[in-house]
Structure 1
Amino acid sequence: MGTLVTLHLPPGSPLAGLPWVVTIGSLGDQEGWDPLVCGPYEREHALALARAVVIDDDLMAVVEPMLALDGVAAIRKEIEQVRATALDDGDDTVAEPITSSGAAVGDPPEPAEVRAAWRRMATRLAG
């Protein structure tokens, strides 16, 4: 049984439209291997893929947005916003154990669906 950690997004959050990455590592870091970071994916694809990978294994998957920031100033501005937000409210991450006997988990996307999503994200990022 693995664990999935992600952000709880309110409806209509602009973060939902960003590319998302999945970091998969050993649950409890007892296996001694470096985490694997993969993506980018659309949010729903990232969640479905992460669930499918960790459902029957002692792994942790962290699904988070990838910010396409174009320089040092943009990165520093985002850091300041995150720091200010952290002071204002509580933790917005959600950790859920993933078990094969739990609630129904949708099928992960097929590779062709992921590649189509990459094209959509590239168009949004270049636009």
Structure 2
Amino acid sequence: MGALVTLDLPDDSPTLDLPWIITFGPLSDDDEWEPVVCGPYERQHALSLAEAVVADEQLMAVVEPLLPSTAVSEVRDEIEKARRLAEEEPPQLGDESFGDTGLDGMLDEHDHDHEHLESSEPPTPAEIKAGMKRIAARLPV
């Protein structure tokens, strides 16, 4: 079994409505290959897909929101927010590599998030395409 890492957000967070991506990468330092980024998906679809993939393989899947910034200033603002947060909060993981990162605790947290999923079955291709259309309709034009 691999590892699934995502944000723990309150049920009313506006971030939940953003498009989400999945980055799959090696779980150990012994395995070297470029990460694969998939999406955008609706959050529940991204979580279900990632869960299905890492269930049988030693992979890490990071499920995170995709910020639909349309201006350089918006991107710079998000980078500045991330930098400020990094200065305020100590890193959760002791090591930046995919080696011994203490993911066991994160996996327990994800299992707790399980109750937010509609189903543990991965969505069908038709459901994913419908979700992508809903995401596209919400993006600023």
TM-score by length of 1: 0.84
Q: Distance in 2 between matches of 1:53 and 1:29?
A: 19
8 A contact 1:7–1:92 mirrored in 2:
no
Distance change in 2, residues 1:87/1:15 (3 Å): same
Output aligned runs, 1:1-127, within 5 Å.
1-89=1-89, 95-96=106-107, 106-126=120-140
CA RMSD of aligned residues (A): 2.4
CA distance in 1 between counterparts of 2:66 and 2:86 reads: 18
The structure that is strand-richer by fraction is: 1
2: distance between equivalents of 1:122 and 1:30? 38
Q: CA deviation at 1:90?
A: 6.0
Given the two structures, how large is their TM-score scaled by the length of structure 2? Answer: 0.76
Asked if 2 retains the 8 angstrom alpha-carbon contact of 1:23 and 1:63, the reply is yes
Supply the AA of the counterpart residue of 1:28. Answer: S
Q: For 2:9, what is the secondary structure of its paired residue?
A: coil
Q: Match for residue 96 of structure 2?
A: none
User: Is the Cα contact below 8 Å between 1:17 and 1:42 reproduced in 2?
Assistant: yes
User: Which deviates further from its counterpart, 26-35 or 84-93?
Assistant: 84-93
Deviation at 1:29, TM superposition (A): 3.6
User: Residues 59, 74 of structure 1: CA spacing in aligned structure 2 closer, same or farther, 3 A cutoff?
Assistant: same
Q: How many Å separate the matches in 2 of 1:38 and 1:29?
A: 22
Per the TM alignment, residue 62 of structure 1 is displaced from its structure 2 partner at its CA by 0.4
Q: Residues 75 and 57 of structure 1: is their aligned pair in 2 closer, same or farther, counting only changes over 3 Å?
A: same
Query: 2:126 & 2:65 partners in 1: Cα distance?
Result: 21
Identity %: 49
The C-alpha deviation readout for 1:11-68, integer Å capped at 9, x for no partner, is 2111100000000111114222111100000000000000000001111100000001
Please list every run of 5 or more consecutive structure 1 residues that lacks an aligned counterpart in the other structure: 98-102
- Which residue is equivalent to 1:100? none
Q: Where is the helix percentage greater, Structure 1 or Structure 2? A: 2
